Amino acid sequence: MIVILLGPPASGKGTQAVALCTRYGIPQISTGDMLRQAQAAGTALGKDAARYMSAGQLVPDSVVIGLVGERITADDCKNGFLLDGFPRTQAQAEALDKLLSEKQCPLDAVLQLDVPRELLVERAVLRRTDKATGKIYHLKYNPPPEGAVLEHRSDDQEDKVNKRLDDFERVTTTLIPYYQARGLLRRVDGVGSLSEVQARLFAALPG
């Protein structure tokens, strides 16, 4: 099972990826998480990416394509994987096609989470991540347990969220017709409780 989770910033990709990956026994490949890990480790790649991420800008294609290209050769990707936040540009989508054709692995589905913009801003601004477990919470819709040490992402300030949403609408939505034309796109309503959205995503997947 090779699946792309496509959706605007804060649409619930990271939250829903956990349940999808558990169900299908595949790893989650989140380019955002990989870049944040590189940043926390202080690698040259992480430092370079941080300049773009903290400004709410996309990291250059060559960097993320390199990360994904290497990650999908790992052993745990033998039975498939879920891509969360990749591809986001036409160049990334074409690079992925090339990588998958080299592996002789077809793409099964592209799940597009639809959430209105005003809700996305609220979801991002009130998002908090548990520093110890990496779990994603929301101060209003999915409150963290008492005592959790929480992080607020620097790119979750309202002005940066709006910049990220603008980029999504301008750049990443061009991938919708790209995958639609190949019959791979499944649009899923991302508004509702976590379990309602999860059930819709499961129903949208083949088999």
Interaction site with ligand AP5 (CB under 6 A): 7, 9-15, 31-32, 35, 52-53, 56-59, 64, 85-86, 88, 92, 123-124, 127, 136-138, 141-142, 155, 164, 192, 194, 197
Closest CA to 112 of 21, 9, 28, 185: 185
Distances (CA, A) of 29 to 43, 143, 198: 19, 25, 18
Helix-helix angle 194-204:13-24, to 10 degrees: 50
Which residue number, 1 or 83, has a Cβ lying nearer to ligand AP5? Answer: 83
Residues annotated catalytic, as ranges: 13, 88, 127, 153, 164
Which of 64, 109 has the CB closer to ligand AP5? 64
The torsion angles phi and psi of 81, rounded to 5 degrees, stand at -170, 165
Contact by Cβ (8 Å): 120, 161? yes
Q: Which two tokens stand for residue 84?
A: 């969360």
Q: Minimum Å distance from CB 50 to ligand AP5?
A: 9
- Ranked by CB distance to ligand AP5, the top (closest) residue is 32
Give the residue with the Cβ less far from ligand AP5, 31 or 112.
31
Residue (1 or 112) nearer to ligand AP5, CB: 112
Q: How far is the CB of 182 from ligand AP5 (least distance, A)?
A: 19
User: Nearest CA to 172 among 86, 73, 55?
Assistant: 86
Closest separation in Å from C-beta 60 to ligand AP5: 7
